[in-house]
Amino acid sequence: MTTIPAGLGHHAETFREDWLEGLADAYARTVRRVPDACGVISRHAPRPGKVAVVIGGGSGHYPAFAGLVGPGLADAAAIGDVFASPSAEQVYRTARAADGGAGILLACGNYAGDVMHFGLAARRLAAAGIDTRTVLITDDVASGPPPVDGRQIDPSRDRRGVAGDFFVFKAAGAAAERGDDLAGVTRIAAHANAMTRTFGAAFAGCTLPGAAEPLFTVNAGTTELGMGIHGEPGLRTTRNLTAAELADELVDNLLPELPDLPPSGDGRVAVLLNGLGRTKYEEMFVVYRQVNRRLREAGLRPYRPEVGEFVTSFDTAGVSLSLMVLDDELTGLYDAPCDTPAFRSLPGAHPAGSDDRTDAPAAAAVTAVTVVTAASDTHRATAAATGSTADRATAADLPATAALQAAFDLVAAHEAELGRLDAVAGDGDHGIGIVRGLRAAVAAARAAEPGPAGDPRSAGDPRSAGAALLTAGLALADASGGASGALYGALLTETGAVLARTASGTTTTDGTGPVCDTELFADAADAAQRAIGELGGARVGEKTMLDALDPFRRELRTRAGEELAKAWRAAAEAATRAAADTAELTPARGRAARMGTLGYGHPDAGAVSLALILTAIGDTLR
């Protein structure tokens, strides 16, 4: 972050809550907070009989997503931590708050964490009797081939969603506002997505709240063409470009990707030149001048063009260009009025020729000006170190809490390393996210683990540990967000469920009740691996946390007859070796999968963090 000094009390741990509260204060006329959730809802929602359009994604992208909530656009937005998806719990609570009884459309970018959490929320809504549909947005032409009709969208394979989100949200919101049913709103959202394409470029990276160093960088004097909004590497690197050259790159990469022009569209395209956070409006107008010229030369008619910030990447220096090919229906929906904190469209007709200049354009000026340079170091903020009692072990901790506390301590000590590993071919937030999640898991387990400390019946009872792990897993997924939050949350909850279920009604020969032994934990590890594989779709060998979990569970199963502490430590050593060996694998899942061989030679951050957790837990066993 480049504008708020640490002296103002700005801390990464509270950033999401702080800025959402400020937004609700500033725009109380338009939005309000969702009770007990990290989300905002239109002041006028829910509206009985109206389809609710619920959007969402990570912090750091404002105006997306909370700034696009209000009449005529989204009804509500669930918000995650910086560059992390909102958890399923937050999406569910936000959607329930917006439900007007006509069904809910969930819309988000095609990222692994968003897909998992929005998908889990959709299942919960359906189980609650609420008709729910989901549309994944796939406009970024730099991130992969276009989705194949009839095939389920896969975040490891298909294009991600970037600034074209805005067009999809706008069309869906307008359709819901005019009274379309859920099937109709879903059709419009999918149609808008199919007609939208985006290509971007970055000149300098971003620094997260409270961080002293950038999350990612762009080499001085260069431009990354096709870089993603979380710092995902681009298609190629070039020298710094002039404004006209940059506009040419944006247009040249989009024109071949555009869908066929519909006969009713007369060549109309909605145009969005989007700033990624640090690029000044005046600079973007210089770029748009050439964009407009090039589009018209190609026979296209820019319709209600917008230049500004719609989907940012914190303080990244860069721009993206989005085009939505219009037909008569999409044109009417794009024209429809809306009122949100970040975007307003007034009612009224938009006559033909309204986007054509009535004065003569000035002669071309000198364009040999670089658009953006890297930020100076004086703009970077640092945050004071903070701590809480939840971060510290206590003598009263029962086994599950003590194990999670040890895992938190060890992973927190390696937080920076995990972030560096994740940044090789991802967004670099794994260390931050898993530490945040484990902190919440420890607090939840400490509150939930039943039985008095020192009571051997509580200390060794799988039911006690199972209850704690079930609660801890939900807390971890909620606090961590992102794909890792969903997967690690599933790991804990599935383990807890097996312990609680297996122990129910069983007793030992001495009548003291069930005990945690190696065979029981081997069963739990098997179940956890199945759950994670089903949730994330990954398999062993695809450079994920499964590549550490699989050898752990196999070693534990082999040693099922041994004393737990000895067997666990041997299995943790196997996981540690396997995590190191992931350096020899090529990513096949998540954002890293799009980067091909870029991640080769570096261990997988998820596998490494899991090995650390398993090692730390082993050290607590006696």
- Lowest-confidence pick of 192-201, 399-408, 579-588: 579-588
pLDDT at 98: 98
How high is the pLDDT of residue 24? 97
The answer to whether residue 503 scores a pLDDT higher than 70 is: no
- Percent of the chain scoring above 90 in pLDDT: 63
Task: Provide the pLDDT for residue 106.
Answer: 98
Do 384 and 329 form a contact (C-beta atoms < 8 A)?
no
Distance CA 403, CA 467 (A): 14
Task: Measure the CA–CA gap between 261 and 253, rounded to whole angstroms.
Answer: 17
pLDDT for the residue 547: 95
46-55, 137-146, 594-603, range with the lowest pLDDT: 594-603
User: Mind listing the pLDDT tens digit for each residue in 178-227?
Assistant: 999 999 999 999 999 999 999 999 888 777 776 777 777 788 888 888 88
Token representation of residue 566:
């000895």
Query: Which whole number is the average pLDDT over 54-83?
Result: 95
Is the whole model's pTM more than 0.85, yes or no?
Answer: no
Residue 482: what pLDDT?
84
Decide: 204 and 372 in contact? Cβ < 8 Å. yes
Mean per-residue pLDDT for 539-552? 94
d(CA 56, CA 168): 13
294-328 pLDDT tens trace? 999 999 999 999 999 999 988 888 999 999 999 99
d(CA 10, CA 480): 20
| Residue 56 near residue 94 (C-beta atoms within 8 A) | yes
Beta strand 344-345 with 236-239 is: unpaired
The answer, yes or no, to whether residue 369 has pLDDT greater than 70, is no
230 annotated active-site = yes
Per-residue pLDDT at 2 exceeds 70:
no
Residue 512 banded pLDDT, cuts 50, 70, 90: low
Between 174-188, 379-393, 425-439, the lowest mean confidence (pLDDT) is in: 379-393
Q: How many CB atoms lie within 10 A of CB 358?
A: 5
- Measured CA to CA, the distance from residue 400 to residue 406 in angstroms comes to 10
The pLDDT confidence band at residue 368, using thresholds 50, 70 and 90, is very low
How many Cβ atoms from other residues are within 10 Å of residue 409's Cβ?
16
pLDDT at 347 over 90: no
- From 488, 592, 481, select the one nearest 535 (Cα to Cα): 488
Q: Which two tokens stand for residue 384?
A: 């004071």
What pLDDT is attached to residue 361? Answer: 78
pLDDT at 393: 62
Residues in a beta bridge with 41: 32, 76
Task: With CA atoms as reference, report the closest residue to 226 among 143, 149, 285.
Answer: 143
Kindly state the average pLDDT of the residues 231-251: 87
385's CB contacts (< 8 A; 6+ apart) are none
Give the separation between CA 389 and CA 383, rounded to whole angstroms.
19
Counting every residue, how long is the chain? 622
pLDDT band for 456, please (50, 70, 90 cuts): very low
Q: Is the pLDDT of residue 382 over 50?
A: no
Instruction: Report the range of poorest mean pLDDT among 77-86, 164-173, 232-241, 571-580.
Output: 232-241
Least confident segment among 284-288, 470-474, 582-586: 582-586
Task: Pick 569 or 357 by higher pLDDT.
Answer: 569
Angle at the Cα of 454 (from 449 to 459), degrees rounded to 5?
Answer: 50
Indicate the pLDDT class of residue 130, thresholds 50, 70 and 90: very high
The tokens of 588 are what?
């096949």
Residues 354-380: what's their mean pLDDT? 54
From the list 10, 61, 117, 230, the catalytic residue is 230
Mean pLDDT of 366-370: 43
Give CA–CA dist 104/152, Å, rounded.
20
Taking alpha carbons only, the member of 420, 436, 416, 424 closest to residue 480 is 436
Question: Half-sphere exposure of 89 toward its Cβ, with a 13 Å CA cutoff?
Answer: 16
The overall average pLDDT reported for the chain is 86
367 or 365, which is more confident?
Answer: 365
Secondary structure of residue 193 in the 3-state scheme: helix
Average pLDDT over residues 236-251: 92
Residue 338 β-bridge partners: 345
